[in-house]
Structure 1
Amino acid sequence: MAHDSALILLALAVILVACKIMHLVCRAIGQPAVIGEMAAGVLLGPSLFAALAPGVHAHLFTDDVKSAVGTMSQIGLVLFMFTVGLEFSTGQIRSGVKVGFAVSLTGMAVPLGLGVGFAFLLAGPVDLFPDGVSVPVGALFLGLLLAITAFPVMARIITDRGIGGTRYGTVSLAAGALDDIAAWSLMALVLALAGTAGPGEIWLTLGGLALLIAAAIPGRHLLRRALESRRVQAADDLVLAVIVLLLIAWFTSMIGLHAVIGAFALGVLMPRNERTARLAELIRPLTVGLLVPLFFVSSGLRTDFRVLDSPVILLAGAALVVLAFAGKLVACSLTARLLHEGWADSLRIGLLMNTRGLMQLVALNVGLQAGLVTPTLFAMVVIVALVTTLCASPGLALIDRLRRRADLRAPVPLLERAPDSDGLPRK
């Protein structure tokens, strides 16, 4: 037992060192930290570390260690989704709601349709879904994976680049926030469809959801009173919030959904005041600094790119990456342009909406736990998450360079005719 505990501590140290090294690499090349954590997970997994040093990997990442890391990562996931809900602002929806809603709608619908079509076309030749999962349910889940946007990652990129006050930054935040709500609502539907074996389970899920919705308003009122009460000390806020969070996460799991749905919903419903803001400040460092990296590595330990071992599977994986990136980019950019945004801003919006990273991996792991995906599809979607998120920052930088060049020389045809938030005139 002591040996197992010591091994877990060593594995945690190795994981955090790997994540820190990749953080530094990503910072040097202008990529968000989430890319480094995703890469660290893949590097420590069976695709590289286990292939280069199988004995060391097997000794370090035993089943007990993987189980411990997985448990900690799930706790971190629940806490992270709670903080995402806490930081969700209706103001981000209001200030660009018209374009943001349309961008979110098409940015969900087009990739969703492409994912469903991909699944129906290739579910036979490629091992996408486990036995017992119907193609329609699996296809809907794959469509959801392609449609999702990582709102927290997008918000971090926007903050890091200082573009929160621009038109395209505001529209992207509004669209990303709406995308999050739609995606997790659809996730609840998919899990209900996938996890029901009969009418009893359907009614359990529907009844549980109805109870949660009915309890939302009085629950928010009680939380506000608790957080404003002098009887509840500010020092006790964290304990109180975690207790409520764990109970809500447990309840949503019991009714056939996933704990992260309850965690996100609770975060959204929390009252907005100084004590809630302080609560987020207390939870975020531990969650983002320690537990979320464990989630990425836990995902990486499950990712084996060696299953992509045939030309058909490789072509299917490449096609999935292209469909995911192009579908989201074209749908969001054209929608923004049709609503009179400039071409440059429209392309920027499309790139920002393509940041799937963290949230796509969260949804993917939810599907894995629900038995909706095979190792082959898991590996494909990890590549999609990496590639689409990796393209955001370089793509934005490229558009900025093209706009500056257009200002100095002849206008670039793709970027002309409409004014953009960088202030360049209509050509």
Structure 2
Amino acid sequence: MPTTSETFLVALLLIFTVPFAIWRGLRTDYYAPLVVVQIIGGIVLGPGVLGAVWPAYYSAIFTPDVIGALNGIAWWAVMMFVFVAGVELDLSAAWANRRESAITASLALATPLAFGAAAGALVLATPGWLGPQGSLAQGVLGIGMACAVTALPILVLLMEKLGIFHQPLGQRLLRYASLDDLAIWGVLAIILLDVERIARQGAFLLAFALAARAVRKAMRRLAETDRWYVGLVWLAGCGLAADWAGLHFMVGAFLAGCVLDTGWFSRQKLDSFREIVLLTVMPVFFLSTGLRTDWSGGGLAVFAVAGLLLAASVAGKLVGVHMAGRLLGWRKGEASLIGWLLQTKALIMIIFANVLLDKAIITSQTFTALLLMAVASTMLTVPMVSPRLRRLQDVSE
């Protein structure tokens, strides 16, 4: 009989070996970066696929003790990832180009949100899709926002792959996505607003504002090495306080990062920290996410809902960005290119959907449909963008 530690290490072997072997062996990087393959790997290794085909494997490896250990790592992994996303959120460039940035970011967010909310209202009208603790308004807004999300870290990764990150187009995309990233967490806080715990949430926000001022003052006086350590203490404290207030620890993690100045940390160390988190512990989060998938509502129903949400997300984003392009007088082809790049969803949308599931606003089968939508939209990005980018560059030359 293997010990819990041995079974845990077997689970880690699967988590790190299977996605990497598929990514390298099948050379999927063009349409599915390693991060996307890891997310798909989590789904495949979970109860909905291999667990259903080979239940003995699933029950032997993913015991309650192992799942508990994996969840603990996953929580801390995603908190660190969201924290860094908050630290890297620099709105100075968006402010310098505020008219263009505000018009594009608002239309790129509001239009798919409206399309997604309409699709969400249709889905949630059927029993089994709205969570037991969620109201219809929370569910509709949550699904709408999931359709509107752009995953800033994955967008950066794809722009680097396409060679446009340091070009003017890449910096424009960074501005639009940064504003939307800020809005995502604001909307999540509204969704999680709990009338019964309003006093706690008000106390948290007041205490956070006072503590953030003190932390910022202290950070200015510290060496960078100490700032990293104090930053992690600050992260854990904010996560705990936000969870206590009913806003979820991931909201606290983002707030902990966004009140710190990017300039307090070297660019190289920030990039290295994010890459280490993605390499070492985020795969555990992806597996943990896969373990939460549910096909009990019927596989075809889940895929049908995922397809509906994908259509709403893609159409909404493209319509919104084309409206912005027409208002701002963009060149022909720019709106389609930008719309498809802003369609990238993996990671941030999955984190967002995990919060909705944790708070029982959506059910596991709704979560599964959202997860499939996020994976599909991200896999579409590079194949749809590459030919459009070539055409735009040919016209410019």
- TM-score where L is the length of structure 2: 0.92
The residue number in structure 2 matching 1:336 is: 325
Out of 20-29 and 248-257, give the one that drifted further: 20-29
User: Is 2:240 the counterpart of 1:250?
Assistant: yes
Aligned residues: 396
How far did 1:150 drift?
0.4
Gaps of 5+ in 2: none
Q: CA deviation at 1:94?
A: 4.2
The equivalent residue for 1:20 is 20
Asked if residue 320 in structure 1 is aligned to residue 309 in structure 2, the reply is yes
Q: Give how far 1:266 is off.
A: 2.1
Q: Structure 1: any 5+ residue segments left out of the alignment? A: 229-233, 408-421
CA-to-aligned-CA distance 1:37-61 (integer Å, 9 cap, x gap): 1111112112322233221122111
Partner of 1:111: 112
Change (3 A) 1:87 1:272: closer
Kept in 2: contact 1:22–1:40 (CA 8 A): no
**Deviation of 1:274 (Å):** 6.1
Instruction: Identify the match of residue 212 of structure 2 among 216, 219, 228.
Output: 216
Q: 1:349: which partner in 2?
A: 338
Shift of 1:83: 1.3
Task: Show the counterpart of 2:371.
Answer: 382
Of 275-284 and 9-18, more deviation after overlay is shown by 275-284
Relative to structure 1, the CA distance from residue 135 to residue 16 in structure 2 (aligned partners, 3 Å threshold; closer, same or farther) is same
For 1:269, the aligned partner's letter is V
Equivalent position to 1:394, from 365, 383, 387? 383
Contact 1:129 1:374 in 2 (8 A): yes
Contact 1:355/1:388 (<8 A) preserved: yes
Shift of 1:270: 2.0
**Structure 2 match to 1:418:** none
Q: Residue 95 and residue 33 in structure 1: after superposition, are their counterparts in 2 closer, same or farther (change >3 A)? A: farther
Match of 2:222 in 1: 226
1:140-181 deviation per Cα after TM superposition (whole angstroms, max 9, x unaligned) = 111121121101111111122110243432221111000000
Tell me which amino acid in the other structure corresponds to 2:172.
V
Larger RCO: Structure 1 or Structure 2 (Cα < 8 Å, ≥ 6 residues apart)? 2
Q: Say if 2:396 is the partner of 1:423.
A: yes
Q: Which residue of 1 aligns with 2:7?
A: 7
- 2:148 corresponds in structure 1 to 147
Q: CA deviation at 1:209?
A: 1.3
Residue 167 to residue 208, structure 1, CA distance change in 2 (3 Å): same
Residues 352-401 of structure 1, C-alpha deviations (whole Å, 9 max, x = no match): 11111110000011111111111221111011101111111111112134
Q: 1:357 to 1:28 in 2, by over 3 A?
A: closer
The amino acid that maps onto 2:233 is I
Name the CA distance, whole Å, in 1 between partners of 2:217 and 2:233. Answer: 17
Give the structure with higher Rg (CA).
1
Superposition RMSD on alpha carbons, in Å? 2.4
Q: Which residue of 1 aligns with 2:362?
A: 373
Match runs of 1:260-275 below 5 Å: 260-273=250-263, 275=265
- Residue 124 of structure 2 aligns with which residue? 123
Question: What is the CA–CA distance in structure 2 between the aligned matches of 1:23 and 1:310, rounded to whole Å?
Answer: 27
**What are the residue-to-residue correspondences of 1:356-367 with 2, within 5 Å?**
356-367=345-356
2:191 is aligned to: 190
Query: What is the SS of the residue equivalent to 2:321?
Result: helix
Please point out which of 272, 281, 294 is paired with 2:284. Answer: 294
Offset, 1:74: 0.6
For residues 264-286 of structure 1, the C-alpha deviation after alignment (integer angstroms, 9 at most, x for no partner) is: 22222223446554653563343
Q: Quote how far apart the aligned CAs of 1:310 are.
A: 5.3
Counterpart-to-counterpart distance in 2, 1:2 and 1:238? 38
Q: Which moved more, 1:20-29 or 1:76-85?
A: 20-29
Overall identity of the aligned pairs, in %: 25
Kept after mapping to 2: 8 A contact 1:26/1:33: no
Which residue is 1:137 aligned to? 138
Deviation at 1:84, TM superposition (A): 1.3
State the TM-score, normalizing by the size of structure 1: 0.85
Q: Quote how far apart the aligned CAs of 1:97 are.
A: 3.5
* Higher deviation after alignment, 395-404 or 166-175: 395-404
CA distance in 2, matches of 1:280, 1:306: 41
Q: Which residue of 1 aligns with 2:49?
A: 48
